[in-house]
Structure formats: structure tokens, C-alpha cells
């Protein structure tokens, strides 16, 4: 069969999606006729918008606290890369949360700059990563300020935080932003999973207008096609001309009009406050129905900050995540991802009553089957492994002196490339870092759990050959 034929078959027969994209294949929210054109007369230019596209961007900005907003057709990844390059100066470095998406690491690598990290704590029971502590940001920026707060901008190009995380954990962006702005350092917020924030009082507020650059993936939690994203810029710490330039660098010169039309249709829906209210009422009613149905089972929804991000695990925190994912798929539910102790289910305003009916039935079945299954060893529950950078990512990536060796033999070697599970795309180790015993233990556990780790080749890891000049 062709890819197209497989897609049509999946559309008609595939499992119900508690995963991206946010439109959930719901015909009510999908575009009708697709009109695919190029930049013909009267349809503006994404990279120099002066007409209809600019008007669409202005309407989107109004929904998100009147920041200046740009459409993106290469996903939030393009926005993150552009943001990182736009704030780069000379002889400085970035400060990033270690739980950032791989695109942040790629951007820093392309910038050819070093980076320091903030390490969020793990939840002790379920193992998800908690919020970035504003006090840690203050401590690091404050130590770099010296006698003059103005000097810190020369040392740190920007602070990069992911909020919300894949697990729905939201950091205090207002507090972090206030600290950054005290030291005149731009704050970049990867809010890819929070484009729906601020659209209902039961949701967290948006970071747009607080962070200097905020990136949203519309397709993750709203009714828009894959690759659709927005980038918002506010304040005077970011050179907007540089940002526009790098957006043109990291995006196609032939932008998709169906994608841009999908974004505008999404914004039009969000402007219909009464309809949005009704859709979120339906969603939260179904979430309450799910929680009630789980009361008589061993499962529960693990509470984080985004009530629409459903972390389904056992109440006692047993390591059932991977097995639960397998059972749910067999019972007609496609989760977004699984961790050691829970599955991540993305719910959106496009979900249907029928979808939750299938999920509730699948959870009942899962409880029956899990009772007869041996459980795997739990994952390490300590803090994120600390990292030691010997070379910048760009220097390590640019070296031709690389070889693959067995992971178990790599202790003390320097990684020549990142290793990560996808999703969520958070590197366990990245280029230029020392491979420690804790990192080897994390990799070993994920391999035993049959997790596909990107960056490994036949159980071997890429390391720098130190017998060659860097």
C-alpha cells in the first residue's frame, strides 16, 4: 500500500488519539477543501508580510496579550532555533533548564556557544520533572552580575525554560521573567505545549507578554495542522529584525498556505469565546467523568498544573507505564507517550464523548490485565544526572574524531552526540559531555525497558577519540 492509502486506513480504522495533533482527526475542526498555492498576487509573503498574512498575525497577537506575533510553518523547532540565534552576543553563554527539548540543544550547538544548566527536581513518587525554581535563576544570574547588573547581559545571552513540560508542569514564568529583566537578560519560553493556556479560566495563563520570546505549537493542543506554530516577542531586549532574519533562515522559502490558513482558522475559533467556553465545558466534564470512573480502580490521574494533560498511573506508583501503553493501544487508545510509571494522554477541546468512553473502557480492561503481568524494575528515582562539559556542543559535533563503543565501556568518555528517548526528546547526555556512571545507568534502564533511544547504534554510543586533535 502507498503512504496515502495507509493514512486513509488509519484515519478510518486507527485507535482514538489521546496524542497530538490537537484536532484529534475530528472532522468538526479539520479544514475542508485544501487550496495549495505559492506566493501569488494578493496572498502576501510570510517572510515579508504586509497584507493578509500580516493581518492574520496581528489578530493572533491580540489573542495572546498583544505581543508581536509571527506565523511559523516549520513548527516550534524553527522558532526555538531562531530565538536562540537572535539573542546571541559575543563571548557569552546561555542558561537553560536541563529538561529542555532537543531543539534547544541543537540551537545552542548551531550558535557555537557554551551553556550552563538549571536542573529541575524529580517528583519522588512518579519521577516526572518539577518546575524550574526561580531562586536558582536568581542565584546563577546574580553570581554572574558582579559589581554591575548591566554586565550580566554580556555573560548570558538568554535564559531558556520549557513551560509547560510534556507532563503539564508549569514554572513560575512571571517570577523568572522579573529576575531575568532585573539583569537585562532575555527570557525565552518554550511554551510549545501551552498554546491553549489563557483560553479558559481553568487553564494556566499564557507566558506571552511575560517572556521576551514565547513559542507555541498550535498543533499540539489546538485544532491546527501539524507544523503550525506561533512565536511572540515583547519588550526591548530582543532585536526583532534579527529574529525576523533567523525565522527566514530556519523556515522554508516556500511556506505552505494550507498550514497558514489552518492557523488563521484556529485563531478565528479562539476568538469565538462562547464556543470555546462550551468546548472546554465538555472537555472538563469528560475529564471529571474519567476521574470518577477511576475511583474504583487502582489507577488515578496524577495532578500537575495543566488539567488537560492527563498522566494516568497507578495510585501506589508502581512501574506500569510501558505495559499500560501497550494495553491501551490494544484496546483502541493511542497515548502520547509512556514513562516508567505512567502514560501521558493529551486531551484537547476537540475530544469527543466517544473518545472518553473508549478510554474509560480501556482503563477497566488494563486493570484486569495488569494484575496478571510481571512488572519491570523501576527506573532510577534520584535527581537528574549532573553533567560535565569538556567541549562545547559545536566543537564536539564539528570533530571528525569519533567512534562507537559499547555503552557499558563508555564510562569517562566524552559523548560525540546526544542520546535521548523521543518523546519527550530530553537528552540524557549531549555532545561534549562526560559519560558518567549515572548516565550509563539511565541508558541501561531505558534499553532494558525496550525504549528506542536515539543516538545509539546497535547498543553503542558515539564518543570522541581523544587520540586525535580536536
The pairing of strands 229-233 and 68-72 is antiparallel
**369: phi then psi, degrees, rounded to nearest 5:** -75, -35
Residue 264 in domain: yes
| Of 305, 334, 350, 315, the residue nearest 165 (C-alpha) | 305
320-329: long-range contacts at Cβ-Cβ below 8 A with a sequence spacing of 24 or more?
Answer: 320/370, 320/375, 322/376, 322/449, 322/450, 322/451, 323/370, 323/373, 323/375, 323/376, 324/366, 324/370, 327/362, 327/365, 327/366, 327/369, 327/370, 328/359, 328/362, 328/363, 328/366, 329/15
What CATH code is carried by the domain that includes residue 434?
Answer: 3.90.105.10
Which residue, 220, 236, 271, sits at the end of a domain? 271
Provide the residue range defining the domain that includes 103. 27-271
Average pLDDT score over residue span 145-153: 55
Average pLDDT score over residue span 396-404: 83
- For residue 466, what pLDDT is reported? 75
The span from the CA of 173 to the CA of 187, in Å, is 9
Which residue, 271, 305, 321, sits at the end of a domain? 271
The span from the CA of 70 to the CA of 432, in Å, is 34
- Who contacts 443 (Cβ-Cβ below 8 Å, separation ≥6)? 407, 419, 428, 453, 456, 461
- For residue 451, what pLDDT is reported? 79
- For residue 231, what pLDDT is reported? 98
The span from the CA of 352 to the CA of 18, in Å, is 11
Residue 267 in domain: yes
The sign of the dihedral angle between the CA atoms of 459, 464, 467, 468 is positive
Average pLDDT score over residue span 261-275: 97
The per-residue pLDDT for range 95-128, each reduced to its tens digit, is 999 999 999 999 999 999 999 999 999 999 999 9
Gyration radius from the chain CA atoms: 23
> CA–CA distance from 264 to each of 70, 71, 218, 321 (Å)?
12, 9, 11, 37
- For residue 445, what pLDDT is reported? 84
Q: Is the pLDDT of residue 151 over 60?
A: no
Average pLDDT score over residue span 138-151: 71
* pLDDT tier, 470 (very low <50, low <70, confident <90, very high otherwise): very low
- Residue 28's CB is within 10 A of a number of other CB atoms, namely 10
Residue 285 in domain: no
The span from the CA of 394 to the CA of 131, in Å, is 28
Residue 233 in domain: yes
Residue 267 sits in the same domain as residue 408: no
Q: Of 24-38, 68-82, 143-157, give the range with the top mean pLDDT.
A: 68-82
Residue 433 in domain: yes
What CATH code is carried by the domain that includes residue 259?
Answer: 3.40.640.10
Which residue, 271, 301, 327, sits at the end of a domain? 271
- For residue 154, what pLDDT is reported? 64
- For residue 145, what pLDDT is reported? 58
| Of 208, 170, 190, the residue nearest 309 (C-alpha) | 170
% of the chain with per-residue pLDDT over 70: 96
Give 317's DSSP letter. Answer: -
Residue 167 in domain: yes
The per-residue pLDDT for range 69-82, each reduced to its tens digit, is 999 999 999 999 99
Asked whether the beta carbons of 321 and 338 are under 8 A apart, the reply is: yes
- Who contacts 96 (Cβ-Cβ below 8 Å, separation ≥6)? 104, 108, 115, 116, 117, 118, 159, 160, 161
Question: What pTM did the predictor assign?
Answer: 0.94
- Match 506571552 to its residue by C-alpha cell: 208
**399: phi then psi, degrees, rounded to nearest 5:** -80, 135
CB-based burial label for 73 (10 Å; 0-12, 13-18, 19+): buried
The span from the CA of 336 to the CA of 200, in Å, is 23
- For residue 383, what pLDDT is reported? 65
Residue 331 in domain: no
Residue 438 in domain: yes
Tally the domains of the chain. Answer: 2
- For residue 374, what pLDDT is reported? 80
End-to-end Cα separation, the chain, in angstroms? 48
Average pLDDT score over residue span 181-205: 97
Amino acid at each position: 500500500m502507498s503512504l496515502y492509502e495507509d493514512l486513509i486506513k488509519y484515519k478510518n480504522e486507527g485507535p482514538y488519539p489521546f496524542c497530538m495533533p490537537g484536532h484529534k482527526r475530528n472532522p468538526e475542526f479539520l479544514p475542508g477543501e485544501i487550496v495549495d498555492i505559492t506566493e501569488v498576487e494578493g496572498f502576501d509573503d510570510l517572510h515579508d508580510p504586509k497584507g493578509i498574512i500580516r493581518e492574520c498575525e496581528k489578530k493572533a497577537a491580540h489573542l495572546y496579550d498583544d505581543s508581536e506575533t509571527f506565523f511559523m510553518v516549520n513548527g516550534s523547532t524553527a522558532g526555538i532555533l531562531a530565538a536562540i540565534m537572535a539573542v546571541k552576543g559575543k563571548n557569552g553563554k546561555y542558561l537553560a533548564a536541563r529538561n529542555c527539548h532537543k531543539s534547544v540543544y541543537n540551537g545552542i550547538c548551531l550558535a557555537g556557544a557554551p551553556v550552563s544548566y538549571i536542573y529541575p527536581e524529580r517528583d519522588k513518587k512518579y519521577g516526572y520533572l518539577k518546575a524550574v525554581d526561580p531562586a536558582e535563576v536568581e542565584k546563577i544570574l546574580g553570581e554572574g552580575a558582579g559589581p554591575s547588573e548591566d554586565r550580566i547581559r554580556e555573560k548570558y545571552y538568554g535564559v531558556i525554560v520549557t513551560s509547560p513540560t510534556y507532563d503539564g508542569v508549569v514554572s513560575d514564568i512571571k517570577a523568572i521573567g522579573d529576575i531575568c529583566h532585573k539583569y537585562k537578560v532575555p527570557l525565552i519560553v518554550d511554551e510549545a505545549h501551552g498554546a491553549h493556556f489563557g483560553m479558559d479560566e481553568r487553564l494556566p495563563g499564557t507566558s506571552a507578554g511575560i517572556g521576551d520570546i514565547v513559542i507555541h505549537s498550535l498543533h499540539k493542543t489546538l485544532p491546527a495542522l501539524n507544523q503550525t506554530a506561533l512565536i511572540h516577542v515583547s519588550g526591548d531586549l530582543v532585536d526583532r529584525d534579527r529574529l525576523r532574519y533567523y525565522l527566514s533562515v530556519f523556515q522554508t522559502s516556500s511556506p505552505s498556505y494550507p498550514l497558514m490558513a489552518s492557523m488563521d482558522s484556529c485563531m478565528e475559533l479562539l476568538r469565538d469565546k462562547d464556543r470555546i467556553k462550551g468546548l472546554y465545558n465538555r472537555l472538563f466534564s469528560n475529564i471529571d467523568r474519567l476521574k470518577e470512573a477511576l475511583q474504583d480502580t487502582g489507577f488515578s490521574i496524577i495532578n500537575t498544573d495543566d488539567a488537560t494533560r492527563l498522566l494516568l498511573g497507578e495510585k501506589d506508583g508502581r512501574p506500569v507505564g510501558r505495559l499500560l501503553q501497550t494495553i491501551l493501544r490494544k484496546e483502541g487508545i493511542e497515548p502520547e507517550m509512556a514513562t516508567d510509571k505512567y502514560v501521558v494522554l493529551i486531551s484537547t477541546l476537540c475530544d469527543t464523548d466517544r473518545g472518553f468512553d473508549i478510554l474509560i473502557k480501556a482503563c477497566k480492561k488494563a486493570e484486569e490485565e495488569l494484575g496478571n503481568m510481571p512488572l519491570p524494575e523501576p527506573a532510577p528515582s534520584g535527581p537528574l544526572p549532573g553533567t560535565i562539559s569538556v567541549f562545547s556542543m559545536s566543537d564536539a559535533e564539528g570533530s571528525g574524531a569519533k567512534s562507537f563503543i559499547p555503552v557499558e565501556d563508555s564510562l569517562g568518555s566524552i559523548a560525540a552526540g546526544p542520546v535521548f528517548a523521543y518523546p519527550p526528546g530530553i537528552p540524557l547526555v549531549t555532545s561534549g559531555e562526560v559519560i558518567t556512571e549515572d548516565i550509563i545507568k539511565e541508558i541501561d534502564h531505558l534499553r532494558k525497558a525496550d525504549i528506542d533511544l536515539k543516538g545509539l547504534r546497535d547498543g553503542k554510543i558515539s564518543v570522541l577519540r581523544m587520540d586525535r586533535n580536536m
